[in-house]
Amino acid sequence: MQADYVIVGAGSAGCAMAYRLSEAGKSVLVIEHGGTDAGPLIQMPAALSYPMNMRTYDWGYLSAPEPGLGGRQLVCPRGKVVGGSSSINGMVYVRGHAGDYEHWAESGATGWNYADVLPYFKRMEHWHESGQGGDPEWRGKDGPLHVSRGPRDNPLHAAFVNAGRQAGYPVTQDYNGHQQEGFGPMDMTVYKGRRWSAANAYLKPALKRENCDLVRGLARRVVMENGRAVGVEIERGGQVQVVRANAEVILAASSINSPKLLMLSGIGPAEHLAEHGIDVVADRAGVGQNLQDHLEVYMQMACTQPITLYKYFNLLGKAMVGAKWLFAKKGLGASNQFESAGFIRSRAGIKYPDIQYHFLPIAVRYDGQAPAEGHGFQAHVGPMRSPSRGAVTLNSSDPKEAPHIFFNYMSTEQDWIDFRACLRLTREIFAQDAMKPYLKHEIQPGDALQSDDELDGFIRQHAESAYHPCGTCKMGAVDDPTAVVDPECRVIGVEGLRVADSSIFPRITNGNLNGPSIMTGEKASDHILGRRLPSSNAEPWFHPQWETQQR
């Protein structure tokens, strides 16, 4: 129960750090409360809606009632399983836009601009060029994380990309390469037909080394002695024990659980800690603040032709897809079905995309319920950089109790302006000639809803989280009172403690957060080991007329 480095959380960043630190000869113990990721429900890509809705694999967190969404409470799934949320997510792989990391660096996270993070994205990736074009020199060739593409053999995928082109947007062969902006194929963390989670990519190989081990238990708090983190108190089998760290404790427990653990350990806003009778070790006002997420709606269209995945949406169809996957790791079961994507700007004057599309050749909710219409397709769409900020705070000093999660969704006028733009621009794309052979009518929002007020009502009722919470232990300059960690991921004001996961993002990145979370673990490992990869001089693409043109 002792190692050089004790990592809390076997999620996206934690697995990457366990791999890199043990590779460098350090002894590592990873603490994980969740259980095994074995079995088809997690490993089969097409089954992604199951583990996300199962308490076995999910912490089961709910947001507080959200005033901007009519008082609805939204689910906030976080993986409670080996691999963390990379074992229950949609497997979509997006690095984020170069402009995101420029913003990080400008806001105090020096050394985290795009030139500095791109080499880590390349180191972690094993990109499978699938004959669909792309930017091989921008991608990694031999990293642990396999990144592939779906076959895109459903005609709706090409129709969606063509509709984007007909509407005047660029087509990009690789949104993770030189040019994110535009429509094109989507990347997924799937390898040989299996979900390629951080557990499969990093943790399982690391655990084969003698200097890396996994400890099952619930982390209760970081043990502090004279202002230094010396271990982690865990509960397992009804017993409270301490896992000692010879060098450092690293929290990689998610943007929900990392701030919770800091606060339980006496690091956070002093007044809030005092309310719960917790002794203050370091008064850090930013712990738990700056919570961000992506919100999206599913724009659903009825399809004129029986070519959508709905034909498999019955017991027999699912059994056939499942059998083909079980025996051959092939067929529809081997894809997350998100095979086409789009990134566009909502208006002129925005420097890089602020809207993302996931296209799906079936109309279905995330919990697996299909509308009565039968054959249909949908685009998940939402703004990328909401100005709204929420917070994660303690409900009590009991480590077993869920924290209070308040996203404060849609709390600014800009949120509503941006979301209406998403809906109207999507309607325009679906109205292009490329979609005409397939489009019957709009299921939701429905043609009847046109005015700002009508669209706002739809958003209030139907917007869902894209499950990208981040930002609650913001990385920034040491003299920034709102920063929690410095650019080396060290918690400001205490010794021997770091945080490295999506909680340290100063601002949410474009697209899905699994890629940036793994990159954070990769880069944090090098900070811990006192080394760094040389910066890249690659020049990412920005629309040359972004100041005056929307497309």
The pLDDT tens digits of the residues spanning 86-145 come to: 999 999 999 999 999 999 999 999 999 999 999 999 999 999 987 888 889 999 999 999
Cα dihedral 318, 324, 326, 329 sign: negative
d(CA 155, CA 309): 12
Number of helices (H), then strands (E), belonging to the chain: the values are 13, 25
Mean local confidence (pLDDT), 147-170: 97
Tokens 């709204």 sit on residue: 388
What is the chain's mean pLDDT, rounded? 97
pLDDT at 370 over 90: no
Give pLDDT tens digits for 472-505. Answer: 999 999 999 999 999 999 999 999 999 999 999 9
pLDDT at 371 over 80: no
Give pLDDT tens digits for 7-64. Answer: 999 999 999 999 999 999 999 999 999 999 999 999 999 999 899 889 999 999 999 9
- Known binding-site residues for FAD equal 81, 89-92
- Contact call for residues 61 and 75 (beta carbons, < 8 A): yes
Q: 405: which DSSP letter? A: E
In the prediction, which pLDDT does 131 show? 80
Q: Which two tokens stand for residue 348?
A: 């002129």
Domain residue spans of the chain: 2-33+216-289+470-507, 151-185+295-383+411-462
- Phi–psi pair at 381, nearest 5 degrees: -140, 145
Measured between alpha carbons, how far is residue 519 from residues 5, 202, 370 in Å?
Answer: 19, 12, 35
**Pairing label, strands 376-383, 355-360:** antiparallel
190 bridge partner residues:
195
Q: Sort 130 into a burial class: Cβ within 10 Å, 0-12 / 13-18 / 19+.
A: middle
- Contact call for residues 28 and 7 (beta carbons, < 8 A): yes
Percent of the chain whose pLDDT exceeds 90: 96
What would be the CATH architecture of the domain defined by 151-185+295-383+411-462? Answer: 2-Layer Sandwich (3.30)
Q: 269: which DSSP letter? A: -
Please state the three-class secondary structure of 83-124 as a single string: CHHHHCCCCECCCCCHHHHHHHHHCCCCCCCHHHHHHHHHHH
Q: Which residues are catalytic?
A: 468
Question: pLDDT category, 68, cuts 50, 70, 90?
Answer: very high
Q: 190: which DSSP letter? A: E
Give pLDDT tens digits for 189-227. Answer: 999 999 999 999 999 999 999 999 999 999 999 999 999
CA atoms within 13 A on the CB side of 258: 37
Mean local confidence (pLDDT), 510-520: 98
pLDDT at 415 over 90: yes
- Known binding-site residues equal 81, 89-92
Give pLDDT tens digits for 288-304. Answer: 999 999 999 999 999 99
What's the CATH number for 2-33+216-289+470-507?
3.50.50.60
Q: Which two tokens stand for residue 235?
A: 């509960």
Q: Which two tokens stand for residue 133?
A: 């074009």
CA atoms within 13 A on the CB side of 462: 20
DSSP-based three-state secondary structure for 246: strand
**Pairing label, strands 464-465, 75-76:** unpaired
Question: pLDDT category, 333, cuts 50, 70, 90?
Answer: very high
Mean local confidence (pLDDT), 182-195: 98
In the prediction, which pLDDT does 53 show? 86
In the prediction, which pLDDT does 414 show? 98
Residue type, 540: P
- Phi–psi pair at 541, nearest 5 degrees: -90, 130
Mean local confidence (pLDDT), 541-549: 98
Question: Could you write out the DSSP letters of every residue in 460-526?
Answer: HHH-EE-S--B-TT-B--TT-TT-SB-TT-BBTTSBSEEE-SGGG-SSPPSS-SHHHHHHHHHHHHH
d(CA 21, CA 27): 8
Measured between alpha carbons, how far is residue 313 from residues 362, 363, 470 in Å?
Answer: 9, 11, 34
7 CA to centre of own chain:
20
User: What global pTM score does this model have?
Assistant: 0.98
Mean local confidence (pLDDT), 274-279: 98
Question: Angle at Cα 362 formed by Cα 447 and Cα 423, nearest 5°?
Answer: 35
